[in-house]
């Protein structure tokens, strides 16, 4: 079960120690055998379940170019049969593209399937192809996202909801399919730009940091998040952020780079082609070689290197809930498994034993 000794409802590891989860993007080359690929993902879930990790997450996209992936709800429902006491979540669901009633029903269902261990992560998204496919013009995206988020939250909390929106009309509707967690599962919002970080501060339990954000950028945006929380009347609690991190561990730094650079580099070239740069803060870019992108972004190297970099994110940026991705489209399963084994055996145990900055002793 996700450790939350302080009794908070944000799901972001608000206990005395950091938490560590596995992120499965399940993005595969189109010609991969999908059932063989799924079996490999299930092996990774079994690995983290049996070695003391805290959770498993996945993401959400439509109409990806050059890769195939399963949609998050059926994928997580399948994984939930294998996760034991792990938390399960989306990091993140593209909420503006969805109907809020369907999302609320799905979140409640997944919370039941996981025994009250579901975390609902959502974000606005950035790919034009996805918004075009659902006929949502640029000027309506943020409004639709915020309206959907409000309706999903109220439905999950058991409110009687009335709404008259072009895509959703409700007349005193109430969700009979309530989640196990009360008042609802934790809500995490992904955010890149300051405006979106402020939205997370106002409207969510936690801001989940994206995998390509620089650590100094995140440290600067922490005040944006805190200020928005204060303006919304939320308590000024110790900062406990969740963050999705790209991680690859090998016996040496050189070996780690040889193993992951082709696949990690391809992933970030895809992000660039999809328009991810446009969603990032001014002055930041992904239009760099992967060897330069690593600085203050990725966690790549020996076990000692990985421990040191994760500590920097914990101590300098306030990250307490790490969601680690250690495989990318096209990477052979054995390479991902090698990294996962070193993370489980040499990287995470000492970090899990260390108290968070400011934790009660």
Provide the whole-model pTM.
Answer: 0.92
Could you tell me which residue, 289 or 79, shows the higher pLDDT? 79
Token reading at 82: 């294998």
Confidence category of residue 306, pLDDT binned at 50, 70, 90? very high
Confidence category of residue 4, pLDDT binned at 50, 70, 90? very low
Across residues 146-163, what is the average pLDDT?
Answer: 98
Across residues 75-102, what is the average pLDDT?
Answer: 98
> At residue 8, does pLDDT exceed 50?
no
Cβ partners under 8 Å of residue 36, min gap 6:
none
Indicate the range of 90-99, 106-115, 231-240, 298-307 predicted with least confidence: 231-240
- Return the pLDDT at 333: 96
Indicate the range of 42-56, 173-187, 345-359 predicted with least confidence: 345-359
Phi, psi of 296 (to 5 degrees): 65, 15
Q: What residue segments make up the domains of the chain, in order of their start?
A: 19-353
| Average pLDDT, rounded, for the chain | 91
Could you tell me which residue, 143 or 238, shows the higher pLDDT? 143
- Return the pLDDT at 358: 78
> At residue 302, does pLDDT exceed 90?
yes
Across residues 280-304, what is the average pLDDT?
Answer: 74
> At residue 284, does pLDDT exceed 70?
no
Percentage above 70 pLDDT, the chain: 89
> At residue 110, does pLDDT exceed 80?
yes
CA 299, 304, 307, 312 torsion: positive or negative?
A: negative
Confidence category of residue 269, pLDDT binned at 50, 70, 90? confident
> Using an 8 Å Cβ cutoff, are 128 and 161 in contact?
no
Confidence category of residue 299, pLDDT binned at 50, 70, 90? very high
- Return the pLDDT at 295: 84
Q: What is the pLDDT of residues 193-217, one digit of tens each?
A: 999 999 999 999 999 999 989 999 9
Token reading at 278: 């446009």
Could you tell me which residue, 163 or 1, shows the higher pLDDT? 163
Q: What is the pLDDT of residues 225-252, one digit of tens each?
A: 999 999 999 988 888 999 999 999 999 9
Q: What is the dihedral of CA 76, 80, 85, 86, to 10 degrees?
A: -20
Q: Are strands 168-173 and 161-165 parallel, antiparallel or unpaired?
A: antiparallel
Beta-carbon-side half-sphere exposure of residue 316 (alpha carbons within 13 Å): 14
> At residue 17, does pLDDT exceed 90?
yes
Confidence category of residue 147, pLDDT binned at 50, 70, 90? very high
- Return the pLDDT at 275: 57
Q: What class has domain 19-353?
A: alpha beta
> At residue 274, does pLDDT exceed 60?
no
Identity of the highest mean pLDDT range in 9-18, 50-59, 231-240, 264-273: 50-59
CB 19: neighbour CB atoms within 10 A?
24
Q: What is the dihedral of CA 89, 211, 203, 172, to 10 degrees?
A: -40
Indicate the range of 9-18, 110-119, 166-175 predicted with least confidence: 9-18
């Amino acid at each position: 079960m996700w450790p939350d000794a302080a009794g908070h409802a944000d799901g972001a590891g608000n206990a005395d120690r950091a938490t560590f989860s596995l992120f499965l993007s399940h993005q595969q080359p189109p010609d991969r055998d999908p059932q063989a690929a799924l079996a490999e993902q299930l092996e990774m879930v079994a690995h983290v379940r049996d070695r003391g990790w805290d959770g498993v997450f996945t993401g959400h996209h439509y109409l990806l170019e050059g890769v195939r992936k399963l949609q998050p709800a059926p994928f997580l429902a399948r994984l939930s049969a294998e996760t034991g006491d792990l938390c399960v979540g989306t990091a993140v669901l593209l909420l503006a593209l969805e109907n809020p009633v369907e999302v609320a029903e799905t979140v409640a269902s997944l919370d039941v399937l996981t025994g009250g261990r579901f975390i609902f992560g959502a974000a606005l998204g950035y790919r034009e192809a996805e918004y075009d496919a659902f006929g949502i013009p640029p000027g309506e995206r943020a409004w639709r996202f915020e309206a959907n988020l409000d309706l999903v939250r109220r439905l999950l909390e058991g409110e009687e909801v009335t709404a008259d929106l072009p895509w959703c009309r409700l007349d005193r509707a109430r969700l009979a399919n309530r989640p196990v967690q009360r008042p609802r599962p934790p809500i995490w919002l992904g955010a890149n730009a300051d405006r979106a970080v402020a939205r997370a501060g106002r409207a969510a339990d936690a801001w989940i940091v994206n995998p390509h954000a620089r650590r100094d950028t995140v440290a600067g945006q922490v005040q944006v998040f805190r200020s928005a929380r204060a303006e919304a009347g939320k308590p000024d609690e110790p900062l406990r952020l969740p963050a999705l991190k790209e991680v690859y561990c090998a016996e040496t730094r050189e070996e780690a780079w040889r193993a992951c650079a082709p696949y990690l580099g391809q992933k970030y070239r895809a992000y660039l082609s999809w328009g991810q740069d446009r969603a990032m803060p001014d002055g930041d870019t992904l239009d760099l070689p992967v060897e330069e992108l690593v600085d203050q972004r990725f966690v790549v190297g020996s076990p000692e290197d990985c421990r040191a970099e994760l500590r920097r994110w914990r101590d300098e940026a306030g990250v307490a809930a790490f969601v680690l991705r250690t495989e990318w489209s096209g990477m052979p399963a054995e390479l991902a498994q090698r990294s996962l084994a070193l993370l489980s055996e040499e990287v995470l145990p000492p970090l899990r034993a260390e108290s968070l900055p400011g934790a009660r002793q």
